[in-house]
Structure 1
Amino acid sequence: MKSKEHQEPAQSNVKDRRRAKQHQANPELVERGAAMKKGWQIKTIGDLGEFQRGLTYGKSDEVDVSDNVVLRATNIDLATNLLIFDELKYISEKVVIPESKKVKKGSLMICMASGSKTHLGKVAFIDDDYGFAFGGFMGMLTPKSDVLPRYLFHLMTSEDYKDFIGALSDGANINNLTFDKLKVFPVPVPPLSEQHRIVRILDEAFENIATAKANAEQNLKNAKAIFESYLNEVFTKKGEGWVETTLSKATNGIFTGPFGSLLHKSDYVADGIPLVNPAHINEGQIEPDLRKTVSKATALRLKNYIMREGDIVIGRRGEMGRCALVTEVEDGWLCGTGSFFIKPSSRCDMHFLVRYLRSDSCKVRLEKLVGGAIMPNLNNTDLGNLTLDLPPIVRQKSIVKGIDDLYLDTQSLTNIYEQKLAALEELKKSLLHQAFNGEL
């Protein structure tokens, strides 16, 4: 019988023939190969790297802290593809971790299974020998000598790669990747000298882009912080004629939406009269779910919960301070079971009140009322007893104008910074596209 050493060359030849057959059968490889620059080749991830699946362990092996650290999908930042070490998993030191299950400097860690398709296939470059294991839902790709690890890493952050992964998982119930599927991804491979040049350009460009993005994001935060600071000042800095009162005294009453016994699942119809629950209130606007509405007959039965233009609807469950002014559009809609609605009075401008209720300073006070509960649930009495400093009605209106003017300025700055962030992201995509099409 032949030894294993004598069998391997024959097996290798079989693998080579299979790989050549795969390349011939893949029209994308043939098409891209014909379009490549001189000296470039089209290979696959399978040609260029060795793959290793991660460490599997039992729930009983998990501990609070140890020297056995396991990296998971949460340790790859989706936006930047950087390794992050905020949520490390530790397992018992009784578990012996093979070296093959530890990340190696110059390798790529890939998310091979995830509850979210957006995270499937995401990759991070391992820049050091950390001595950390990588979990069973992860994979490690160790590039061979004919491709630079960072060249392959940049390719696996490109839109072509993301589209490839998206097509593999499209329609699948379980978001799993196998190396057999991943290994056929086509890789345009220039000479090593050209790879070095491309990596150098991309690394430098992406470092500059990351700095520009960080500056834009900080400017965005600053603009929002200035607006919130202004709100805090106008609502807490008393002036002449200001009086301390309560929400129930400043308005014409706070009313709770219908309890569950009054509104059943069977009452819901599509495209009827909307109900407004906390989930339907976003950024001071009411966004109904037209799949869960009620008939006119049900609305008539629940007429005591109908909201009118000028009311304020505010959530009593979940995130505190989620509220909106009822406009002409929402007049006649129903307050949902998870909300209150507040009736206006001549003592309080409702535009002033809704801006106060949405302010960070008021949200903090409302959160204190619910006592940090896991499922916050505000009661009518506590909301009614909430104290506020109320200026004369004329001053309320001028404060509203000042807030709205500053909001428009803030929104204008926000749009500028968001457009800049979008442009930087497009620049990154464009550079990657050029790099791997021989156009850089």
Structure 2
Amino acid sequence: MGWARIKLGELCSKITDGSHNPPKGVDYSEHIMLSSKNVFDDKIHLDKPRFLTESDFVKENKRTDVSVDDVLLTIVGTVGRVAVVDESLPKFTLQRSVAVLKPLPDKIVARFLMYSLRSILEELLGESRGVAQKGIYLKSLREMHISVPSIPDQKRIVAILDQAFADIDNARALTEQNLKNARELFESYLQQVFSQRGGGWVEKKLCDVCILQRGFDLPKRLRASGEYPLVSSSGVIDTNIEAKVPGPGVVTGRSGSIGNVFYIEEDFWPLNTTLYIKEFFGNDKKCVSWLLRYFDLSRFTSGAGVPTLNRNFVHDEVVAIPTEVENQRNIVVGIEALEAEILTVKTIYEDKLNKLDELKKSLLQKAFSGEITKDDKEAAA
């Protein structure tokens, strides 16, 4: 197809990485150091940089001297994210988790190099070495080959991919917004249901609707797989041969993940990172579980490190609930019907997001197998 296989080291004037021993940061300055956490595919974010003194920045910048049209590649930890430096960005330096590739403009277009690196993600991952944290050695990176056409063909491919990826990103943004709207619709419905007052509803302290109780310790060495769900603050994580609480029951997080509410059909073992409902006072259990989700227990967390929920902080809070159990069950029917619809919509949207990601991969494969320029030239002919 008229493409040459060339080493990255021959296509760039320099390939290096950022500081291996970054200086201690300061509270704030105009001199910033970024890491792999700031580099995404075709995007460079400036969130939470390390701020440096001017003298430290000058010293560190000698290594990378990042300039417009340099290509940044994450090479430690999350390997393979790649972006081009544009003129809108302030001057910055880098930590060693990011490599800087300075393309020779007479040999390769910066954005073509970016797309090319994205197209060989699997190869980049294959070159990663290390146990605790994988990374790519600069020597290996310089020796890697990519296929390169003429500069006019590179520019043509970049123009096609830029437009196609922009259209895909717009479609993704719209789909993600629709997914967010579906979630918000459901939360709005819960708000509407449980904020009611008046006939058939009564206001009570939460402790008069249900009693929350701390779960039970069960060290890993004493656990044995069985038929009963083992429930943590993040949900069912395993099974156990013994249950502590008869089902159905309701569990929420006490330490770690706070605010999630889980309805467990069968007998279960709630771990000590959870609170389970010990007493429902005759209320419909599913209705109480939805009430707790609406109530948003995460509002009552404490602790500077690991978030913790003290049941004594919430038991005296006032909530509203239908007086008749039959009305509580009717509420559950309505909520679960909407939930089923939302889950269907969510599945459709998530499938669309996956297909958009696959479309990007397909376009990259076509671009670097020569199909795009071939089709473009045949159409022109």
TM-score w.r.t. the length of structure 1 is 0.77
Which residue identity is paired with 1:83? Answer: I
For 1:270 and 1:168, the matched residues in 2 are separated by 38
Of 278, 299, 302, which aligns to 2:233? 278
Matched residue SS, 2:259: coil
Corresponding letter in the other structure for 1:370: T
Post-superposition offset of 1:264 = 4.7
1:31 alignment partner in structure 2: none
Corresponding position of 1:110: 73
Higher strand share: 2
Whether 1:256 and 2:214 are equivalent positions in the alignment is yes
Alignment of 1:381 onto 2:341? no
How far does residue 435 in structure 1 lie from its aligned partner after superposition?
Answer: 0.3
Go from structure 1 to structure 2 and tell me whether the alpha carbon gap of 1:289 and 1:150 turns closer, same or farther (over 3 Å shift).
same
- Verify: 1:192 aligned to 2:151, yes or no: yes
Q: Per-residue displacement from partner, 1:264-290 (whole Å, max 9, x unpaired)?
A: 5543334475532213x1xxxxx2324
Contact 1:316 1:340 (8 Å CA) reproduced:
yes
Alpha-carbon distance, 1:387 to partner: 2.4
Aligned to 1:147: 108
Cα distance in structure 1, aligned partners of 2:351 and 2:343: 12
**Secondary structure of 2:327's aligned partner:** helix
Structure 1 pair 310–169 and aligned structure 2 pair: CA distance change class (3 A): same
Map Cα deviations across residues 313-366 of structure 1 (whole Å, 9 max, x no partner): 222212322222221xx32x322222222145464111111112123xx11xx3
Residue 8 of structure 1 corresponds to none
Contact 1:71 1:134 (C-alpha < 8 Å) held by counterparts: yes
| Offset of residue 84 of structure 1 | 0.7
Q: How far off is 1:310 after superposition? A: 2.3
Size of the alignment, in residue pairs?
366
Q: What residue number does 2:172 align with?
A: 213
Report the counterpart of residue 95 of structure 2 in structure 1.
135
Counterpart for residue 42 of structure 1? 5
C-alpha displacement at 1:257, in angstroms? 2.2
Structure 1 distance, partners of 2:269, 2:63, is 61
Contact 1:311 1:344 in 2 (8 A): no
Cα deviation for residue 202 of structure 1 reads: 0.3
CA distance in 2, matches of 1:53, 1:377: 41
Instruction: Give the aligned partner of residue 54 of structure 1.
Output: 18
> In the superposition, relative to structure 1, how do residues 189 and 102 fare at CA in structure 2: closer, same or farther (>3 Å)?
same
Give secondary structure in 1 for the equivalent of 2:309.
coil
Whole-angstrom distance in 1 between the partners of 2:255 and 2:298: 11
How many Å apart are 1:246 and its aligned residue? Answer: 2.5
Percent identity between the two aligned chains? 30
> Which ranges of structure 1 fall in alignment gaps of 5 or more residues?
1-36, 282-286, 300-305
Answer yes or no: is the 8 Å Cα contact 2:250–2:285 preserved in 1.
yes
Match of 1:121 in 2: 80
2:357, 2:158 → 1: CA distance? 18
- Does 1:317 pair with 2:248? no
C-alpha offsets along residues 60-106 of structure 1, whole Å, 9 cap, x if unaligned? 4x2122232212111112xx431111122111112224455221111
Which residue of the other structure, out of 326, 329, 337, is the alignment partner of 1:405?
337
Measured at CA, do residues 376 and 148 of structure 1 come closer, stay the same or move farther in structure 2, by a change above 3 Å? closer
The residue that corresponds to 2:193 in the other structure is: 234
Q: Provide the alpha-carbon RMSD of the alignment.
A: 2.3
Equivalent AA in structure 1 for residue 34 of structure 2: L
CA distance in 1, matches of 2:292, 2:172: 32
Q: Secondary structure at the match of 1:63?
A: coil
Instruction: Mark the runs of 5 or more structure 2 residues left unpaired by the alignment.
Output: 373-381
